[in-house]
Amino acid sequence: MFGLFKSKPVDYFSAEEKQLIVQAIQKAEHLTSGEVRIYVESHCRLVNPVLRAKEVFHALNMTETTERNGVLIYVAMKDRQLAVYGDEGIHAKVGHVFWNEEVKKMLDHFNKTNYAAGITEIIHQIGKALETHFPYDDTMDKNELPDDIVFGK
């Protein structure tokens, strides 16, 4: 898959920070049928991080959610680039303005080197948007995608 994954993650986050990020994903997904994934790598191999996020989104099979409501948070740590990419179901509901506003908020945290806080905050905001547009239905919903952080090269 494009050499997308690395076997041993670079330690951009402490064990506690990783746990907080995964817990934020699980908490957000508990209120929605939507799915959130995090992909972190050192360098963005494309000039535009949104295009890289789209590439990773498809490589992680995130289009496989029933309601097309998966969201990928993409971060290239050393290049200081990030993007949020939402599938067509959620994108149709929130649009570009929402994604851009959330990225700005995340950048505020990143500029203060509060990376884990920035990621958990955006997960929370995305979770609220997903809950509004795709509320959890305990008779049908299941966890369609893993909740772990995916580390690239």
Domains of the chain: 15-151 (3.10.310.50)
DSSP-derived secondary structure for the chain: -TT---SS---SS-HHHHHHHHHHHHHHHTTBS-EEEEEEESS-SSSSHHHHHHHHHHHTTGGGSTTS-EEEEEEETTTTEEEEEE-HHHHHHHHHHHHHHHHHHHHHHHHTT-HHHHHHHHHHHHHHHHHHHSB--TTT----S--SEEE--
pLDDT tens digits for 97-116? 999 999 999 989 888 889 99
pLDDT of residue 137: 85
Query: Model-level pTM?
Result: 0.91
pLDDT tens digits for 14-50? 999 999 999 999 999 999 999 999 999 999 988 899 9
